[in-house]
Amino acid sequence: MPPPANTLETVEIRKEYPGTVALDGVSLRFNGGEIHALIGKNGAGKSTLLKIFAGAVQPSAGSILVNGTPVRLHSPRDALAKGIAAVYQELSLVPELTLAENIFLGRLPHREGSARAFIDWPGVFSRARKLLESLGITLDVTRKASSLGVAQQQIVEIAKAMSHDPAVLMLDEPTSALAHHETEHLFSLLRQLVSRGVALIYITHRLQEIRQIADTVSVLRNGKLAGTLRIEDASPQAVAHMMFGETIPKVIPRGLAVGQEKVMEVRHLTRAGAFTDISFSVHRGEILGIAGLLGSGRTELLRSIFGADPPDEGEIAVDGDAVRPVTPRQMRKLGVALAPENRKDEGLVQILSTRFNTCLASLPRVARHGFTTRRRETAVTRRTIHEVAITVADVEAPVSSLSGGNQQKVVVGKWLNTEPRVMLFDEPTRGIDIQAKQQMFQLLWDLSRKGISSVVVSSELEELMDICHRILVMRKGRMVGEVLPQSATLERLFALCLGEGEDR
């Protein structure tokens, strides 16, 4: 029997890093002529597997087979030679070069019979036009990449990959920055590629997309293969079980009673293109979760509440009084604080010290008559280090020298120094280790005991179930349901995020 065409297979692939196992005995097969979705939580091993296929990372053990034949992929060049191409989430086009130059970068054809210093520019543009035409793409190949929108750049990245005539094409979060109509255009292109027999590996966090585009779905959990299903069998319950495993309901610690007082109310809040008609209230001491899949509008909602991106319609009330204007300065005065998702760029000044960052939001409190001293700031910093359990060797060293978990604690500690009444947390446990996560949970519970309310956005649904009094669910910019962790299941929450069984 001849080997299958356009297949990529792993046999017991393992990848170890110091102190951790990223992939543990993963055996998978990707077939030509189908779209195979690869999903899993952050840290499940998806990106590591993609990098191994791309030749950028070497496995510690196991085998890779292309069309049934074992291969060794020592570099991205080796992967391309074996017909494996990748399109990463971070686009790699050179802005000031034309589309044609970007597509054939490093492989520009030269004039026949001439020195290699002379590039065949008519040939470059002609080949680029033919390639785009074959893919059903209408773009001027002489345009600079910088003139394109994100969706068009994504299309050019795929064309660049297809210029290698690959048997296997891997896409990492291809729709993360695309609007709905742009996503539909991309899907149309992907279906065309699959009709040619290409094996397409589709990595995504947007789980609602897999039913639209995938034929098969595989789930990685903690570096292991949790299962593979045909898409018609991939119910939300089945996918949730593979992603999260058996979950044991946890009880919020005692003493975290929610007060009757409404400290903040959001009334019919709308921001064009992000979310529509959002209303909810937050009670004193409540830990309120906001769940939803990537692109549901969660982050945009928190930013609008804080005034970083002011809403177009609706109002926000603190202690029953409408806030006008809604700006970060005004919200800080009213006791509302935001720990953003992108802590490195938006929550901290990386080149400055831990001392400076810890005091940054509370400088009006630290200063006297408009002046501050290192002695006062150091005292505040030492207190914050103790309260939030920050591990730091030198408070004068740049905050960039701290681990991800400790940087997150600095962001939170910075805002706690303003004595807030409501803390807005956007992905507070992203990129931090298990111990730091537990410390973050304990911090949220401690705030609740003090009567400080928290609104927590997280992609980790099981974490929300563990730490929150109540969970709101967003989908496509709208609030679609509410879950009480003590009386609901993780599968129920997951189904709401996918849009199945929405509360009406």
Tell me the per-residue pLDDT of 31-56, one tens digit each, with 9 for 90 and over.
Answer: 999 999 999 876 788 888 999 999 99
The CA distance from 437 to 305, in Å, is 25
User: How far is residue 66's CA from residue 70's CA, in Å, rounded to a whole number?
Assistant: 6
The pLDDT assigned to 481 comes to 93
Model confidence pLDDT, tens digit, residues 233-251:
988 888 888 887 766 555 6
| Average pLDDT of span 420-440 | 82
Query: Taking a C-beta distance cutoff of 8 angstroms, is the pair 467, 497 a contact?
Result: no
Task: Give pLDDT tens digits for 301-326.
Answer: 999 999 999 899 999 999 999 999 99
Q: Can you tell me the distance from the alpha carbon of 53 to that of 86, in angstroms, rounded to the nearest whole number?
A: 9
**Helix 434-449 crosses helix 404-416 at what angle (to 10 degrees)?**
10
Residues of the chain with pLDDT > 70, as a percent, come to: 93
Q: What's the mean per-residue pLDDT of the chain?
A: 87
Look-up of token digits 């002379």: 118
Tell me which amino acid residue 132 is.
L
Contact 275, 456 (CB under 8 A): no
pLDDT at residue 41, rounded to an integer: 77
In CATH terms, is domain 8-244 a member of 3.90.180.10?
Answer: no
Where is 443: in which H helix or E strand?
A: helix 434-449
Superfamily of domain 262-335+420-498: P-loop containing nucleotide triphosphate hydrolases (3.40.50.300)
* Range 162-178 average pLDDT: 85
Q: What does the block give as tokens for 138?
A: 């209408």
CA within 13 Å, CB half, 73: 32
Report how far residue 420's alpha carbon sits from residue 285's, in angstroms, rounded to the nearest whole number.
12
Q: Which residues pair with 316 in a beta bridge?
A: 266
Q: What's the rounded Cα separation, in Å, for the pair 235 and 137?
A: 34
Please state, in angstroms and rounded to a whole number, the distance separating the CA atoms of residues 227 and 238. 10
Question: Taking the CB of residue 224, how many other CB atoms lie within 10 A of it?
Answer: 16
Within 10 angstroms of residue 100's Cβ, the number of other Cβ atoms is 24
CA distance 352 to 399: 6
Q: Which of 109-123, 157-171, 316-330 has the lowest mean pLDDT?
A: 109-123
Q: Tell whether the torsion through CA atoms of 95, 99, 100 and 106 is positive or negative.
A: positive
Q: Which ranges of 8-141 would DSSP assign to H, the alpha helix?
A: 46-53, 76-81, 99-103, 121-134
- Domains 8-244 and 262-335+420-498 fall in the same CATH topology: yes
pLDDT digits (tens, 9 = 90+) for 82-107: 999 998 877 788 999 999 999 998 88
How does pLDDT run across 263-273, given as a tens digit for each residue? 999 999 999 98
Mean pLDDT of 120-127: 90
Q: Delimit the domains of the chain by residue range.
A: 8-244, 262-335+420-498
Q: How far apart are CA 432 and CA 352, in angstroms?
A: 21
Helix or strand (DSSP H, E) at 321? strand 321-322
Helix/strand/coil for 110: strand
Q: Compute CA distances 55 → 69, 86, 201, 355, whole Å.
A: 16, 10, 15, 42
Helix (H) or strand (E) holding 240: helix 236-244
Side-chain-facing half-sphere of 487: CA atoms under 13 Å: 4
Strand-pair category, 168-172 with 84-87: parallel
Query: What is the pLDDT confidence band of residue 504, given thresholds at 50, 70 and 90?
Result: very low
